[in-house]
Amino acid sequence: MRFMITVDAMGDACPIPVIKTKKALAELNESGELEVFVDNEIAVQNVSKMAANAGGDVTSEQISEGKYRVAIRLAGDGTIGERDTEEAEEKAEEKQAEKTAGKEKKHTIVVVSSDRMGSGNDELGKVLIKGFIFAVTQLDELPEQMLFYNGGAVLTCEGADTLEDLKNLEAQGVEILTCGTCLDYYSLKEKLQVGSVTNMYAIVEAMNRADKIIRP
């Protein structure tokens, strides 16, 4: 008999729907089903991505105006915690192997919180941020991720003069992530042109495990 959990995340701000879902998935243990109710498409994307990365079979639907249902099923091949542990062990083994070989790679991320660089003149700031993004493309060792939030979300959307460089970075394996709440706030969720949507919990996790954080 499958165990079913219902999570009501209606009205919850990011990253609460993701956190509630993560905790509920842990309660399912080896198998079961989970349904999560949220009130916006960004939350649907964030919850779905997290659950899929955790090994769940995910589907979603819009039930009515402002109400969405995300259904998650675990097939019984291990708990979320076990999968997380296995992934952590694999990464630790890879890191140790690199260290032993004398070529340990640092986990570097770039965090961009504005569509301009520095304070003073706004126009100059926009020129500088474009130059900053280009400079990242020229690094000998590229970052693993680039995180964009608040005003920085504009740089990954339609009309931004940074798109060519960001697409170039993505093509070389750099993960480009933009805060979903920020896209929604600036009415840009339909204009994202590079990378994918993320949430604040994932942003904090990425910053926490990074060996180096580069900020403009």
Comparing C-alpha atoms, which of 50, 37, 41, 47 is closest to residue 7?
Answer: 37
Assess whether 182 carries a catalytic annotation. no
Helices 41-53, 200-209: axis angle to 10 degrees equals 40
Q: Is the preceding omega at residue 15 within 30 degrees of 0, hence cis? A: yes
Given the residues 14, 157, 179, 182, select the one marked as catalytic.
14
Contacts 24+ apart (CB under 8 A), 98-107: 105/141, 106/141, 106/211, 106/212, 107/144, 107/209, 107/210, 107/211, 107/212
Q: Which residues are catalytic?
A: 14
